[in-house]
Structure 1
Amino acid sequence: MNDDPRVDPPLIADERTMLTTWLDWHRRTLEFKCRGLSDTRLRERSVPPSPMSLLGLVRHMAWVEHVWFRWVLEGDDVPSRIKSLENREADFQDVDTASVEEAFALWHAEIDHARELSASLPLDAIGAGRRHGEEYSHRWILVHMIEEYARHNGHADLLRERIDGVTGE
């Protein structure tokens, strides 16, 4: 995996720049971990009984972007195209039949929407929606998204190493 497209976040910056560049760095990291793999390899599961796969992580993060930015920050209750009340584990469970192209397109669309929405709001804005009955600030959501990606990028590191031995940040 050569030609790393990621740009390191600045060492000194204002709060918004720091948060958004770290979030984008982690988004690109997941993409980088998936780069160059066939659809079959992206579907490969970790170890039983876990259903985790790189494609599952992409689908999961599309759902996470949708929930935190559309549902909680924006207050839009548009249904997710990944999960439903009837199938809460679809992001990881349905990778055998999921379209890789569609999953990446949806993930990128959710990221684009999140970036646009985030840029339009102050960091201390309170989300128009709720999750588990609670309100969340825009700032909290950005920090949570960095944490969410960082945790799952650790999973992606292990999955990629298991698939073809590639390691790295």
Structure 2
Amino acid sequence: MTTTPERTEPSTTAGERAMLEGWLEFHRETLERKCAGLTDEQLRTASVPPSDLSLLGLVRHMAEVERGWFRRTLAGEEAPPLYYDDADRDGDFHPAEEDTWEEARATWQAEITRARELAADRSLDDLAARTSRAGESYNLRWILTHMIEEYARHNGHADLLRECVDGSTGD
């Protein structure tokens, strides 16, 4: 029997940084919970036609999002895409039959670990190494807030996908 991954409720009285980091961790853990106990085949299932979105695709996408915002944008690292290329700009959303939860989860968790490392010693006011296409700067506060939004939106997708795969509902 598979256990449901733990999830920590964010503090209701924390300071700004702890609050932002708490909500980001909560949403990271929520996505993992939505995937818990499913087979690779179930995780690859695009269960809401006509969309080709799957839970495994969401996890791969979030690995790319973590990589993009923390490694590329915040730190200015050269970090090429993991799952997409010019031939398939949405390749992260298109897992193949040979793609597994084990690999996707390990990659996603490695990107989360790196994101935590890159943010750890920075002020919320620190500006990212790269700017927007319009030349606007991002500070770490903006990136953390955006990451919460990105996870929250995709966790809504994950709720629906999971319910359609096996009927599971809930947090």
- Do Structure 1 and Structure 2 share a fold, with TM-score over 0.5? yes
Q: TM-score range by the shorter chain?
A: over 0.9
For the aligned residues, what is the CA RMSD? 1.5
Provide the residue aligned with 1:78 in structure 2. Answer: 79
Gaps of 5+ in 1: none
Provide the residue aligned with 1:146 in structure 2. Answer: 148
User: How far is 1:125 from its partner?
Assistant: 0.6
Distance 1:107 1:131 in 2: 24
* Superposition TM-score, scaled by structure 1 size: 0.94
Structure 1, residues 53-95: CA drift from partner, whole Å, max 9, x if none? 0000000000000100011101112202122233211011234
Counterpart pick for 1:160 among 162, 168, 171:
162
User: How far is 1:147 from its partner?
Assistant: 0.3
Provide the residue aligned with 2:33 in structure 1. Answer: 32
User: How far is 1:131 from its partner?
Assistant: 3.5
Indicate if the aligned counterparts of 1:23 and 1:145 stay in contact, CA closer than 8 A: yes
User: How far is 1:3 from its partner?
Assistant: 5.0
Provide the residue aligned with 2:115 in structure 1. Answer: 114
Q: Secondary structure at the match of 2:144?
A: helix
Residues 3 and 54 of structure 1: CA distance in aligned 2, closer, same or farther (over 3 Å): closer
1:49 lines up with 2:50 in the alignment: yes
Between the aligned residues of both structures, percent identity stands at: 54
Distance 1:117 1:159 in 2: 32
Q: How does 1:89-104 map to 2 (within 5 A)?
A: 89-104=90-105
Structure 1, residues 107-137: CA drift from partner, whole Å, max 9, x if none? 0000000011111110001000134243211
Indicate if the aligned counterparts of 2:74 and 2:130 stay in contact, CA closer than 8 A: yes
Gaps of 5+ in 2: none
Indicate if the aligned counterparts of 2:5 and 2:32 stay in contact, CA closer than 8 A: no
Q: Secondary structure at the match of 1:12?
A: coil
